[in-house]
Homo-oligomer: A and B are copies of this chain.
Amino acid sequence: MSMPPSSRTTVRRKPQRARYARADIEAIVDGTLICHVAFADGAGVHSLPMACWRVGDDLYVHAASNSRIAATLLAGECCVSIALVDGLVLARAAFHHSMNFRSVVVYGQFVAVDDPETAKTVYEAFVDHVSPGRSVQVRGPSPAEISGTRLLRLPLAEAAAKVRAGGVEDSRDDMGWPVWAGVVPVAMRGLPPLPDPGSAAYPQPVLPAMCVETTVE
């Protein structure tokens, strides 16, 4: 299923890199732990990194119930962006250097999820996004913990992705330049876990998908 782009999500620069298919957008959202939320208030435009995750057709972030950011986001439109770097594209010419990346931009307005049962389910998905299968192993949220946190939902409705993949694109004239050229794939990886005292005997946590998947070039 594809999302018809709005005037704001239509990719104009290098439109061949645009991806409007819902599956592409969802895969990129699922591939990140962090999004950047842009919004405006009386002091100007702001950009704030926030942890994020997806359930169904929506992107979620959370904040303390009494925080300014929760109130501000609920009061107006924002734009959320996500970018994942997949590779360093090292060309023979400085000018043709590039990066392989997957990015998503979403426009809209966050709405609050105030039903505690719904919030609990969405928070479980957050824990499982960070470590698959973990939500049933940990001590679940208490009513006070849920009410102290504001869960915010943004529909992935006005959204588009942009993807650069593949190899170097040097000019024919530069092909004889005596330097290594190609792509260095990069990816987020888990390093050896550091257990908290007293818990090391339990099975180690499962890494999130973006730390274990093979990068396909």
**Which residues of A are interface residues toward B (Cβ below 8 A)?**
7-8, 12-13, 33-34, 36-40, 43-49, 51, 64, 67-69, 77-83, 85, 88, 90-95, 97, 99, 101, 103, 105, 107, 123-124, 126-127, 130-131, 134-135, 137-142, 145, 149, 167-168, 170, 174-175, 177-196, 198-200, 202-205, 207-208, 211, 215, 217
Contacts and interface: CB of A to CB of B under 8 A. Distances in A.
A79 B191 CA distance: 32
Nearest to A86: B191
A38 to B, nearest CB: 3
A135 B94 contact: yes
A177 B91 CA distance: 52
B188 A81 contact: no
**Is chain A's interface secondary structure helix, strand, loop, or mixed overall?**
mixed
A12, A48, A99 — most chain B CB neighbours (10 Å): A48
Given A79-B47, A188-B186, A40 B37 contact: no
19 contacts: A7-B43, A8-B44, A8-B46, A38-B39, A90-B134, A91-B138, A92-B199, A93-B139, A93-B145, A94-B141, A97-B127, A139-B174, A167-B196, A179-B199, A180-B202, A182-B200, A185-B193, A186-B188, A186-B189
A80 B81 CA distance: 12
Nearest to A95: B145
A180 B138 CA distance: 9
Contacts of A207: 184
A23 to B, nearest CB: 20
